[in-house]
Structure 1
């Protein structure tokens, strides 16, 4: 493709170089005519000045007016000559510039002539192409196809990039959500671990309470049985029928307490009596 581009550039430069070469020759011809014209006018001016000097040297008083007009005309001719000299200098500069352009174009023609020969050999060896413009047309078609493919690839790449950007944005959002859920899950796990630890403590306390309650219940039952037995014993010693329910432990304790108080009072009276008898 690079070779074809160079060939195409050569074919695009060749007509232009031919046109510039023709224009250059026309310009040079014009410059030659203008230079010849300037030389002719300069020669006429020199002859005129020579005649004018001779006129000034040989003239009389009656020719003063003619001399004055001749001086003015001479000054004007000198100014025209100076302008022509400037024009000639400009033309010489243009000629030099055009010569430089011509040299550059000749170098390009010499450089690209290799591609012309190559294309001619390609056409001779090819069964598909018969003329150079067919090769260039095929090249243009291939270039257009390549540009279309590049544009399609670029559009596809842009679509892929947009899809990747949307996917990345979606993944980032979901990662943020997952991070939030993980934080929430960690908080809930911490609360669960704490609750389980507290549950173990409370289960231990509940087992202790239940164990203590069982012991207390057993002790209470033992106390109630002992109280009932003692109450029954007191009832036998009192030889009195007492209507106290079996389950009313409090009243039974009151009866027992009253019995013990009475025994204590009797015991104290007996001790006082024995002490009095011993003393007498």
Structure 2
């Protein structure tokens, strides 16, 4: 009985160990299967991704081929312009490359833009100056009208002044004539005084001491001489009556 019991226990242990091994085997197989499924899925995903990349690359290739064809077409179209620019470089001798021509073109465009801006500013300034000139012209016109009125008044005053001036010119001319006559008379009187003074000095047998231009002294001497003669005549008349 004990032997049977021990045998059963031994078989149970063997069976349990076999079950554990089988269970481990099943679990390992399941893990391997899961890993295989994961790898298969990853490989499928990788293949799908590669197919998408291939499709994108094919589309890009088609796009690049289209661009290449269009670029070839543009190059063929613009080849004549390049040939023309090459002839410009050769014939002018002013440029060494096409880029220099483009640089000159950009410089000229920039200069034209600057000149256009300056022209616009000058036109604006000209318009402003025109407006200022218009206002100034109106102001000057009013001033000119005022000055014309003043000029007319001054013209009238000048005409009146000219009439007065002609009147006074006539008076001055008459005064000059009178003065000339008086001057002539004065000269004649001076000459007579001088001659009379000289004759008196000669008759008295005395030297001439008064200058020719000192009419006052001459008249004074002549006056004294006349008074002396009057006294002499008076005395002579008294003696004659006796």
**Normalising to structure 1: TM-score of the pair?**
0.35
- Comparing both chains, which one has the higher relative contact order based on Cα–Cα distances under 8 Å and sequence gaps of 6 or more? 1
Greater C-alpha Rg: 2
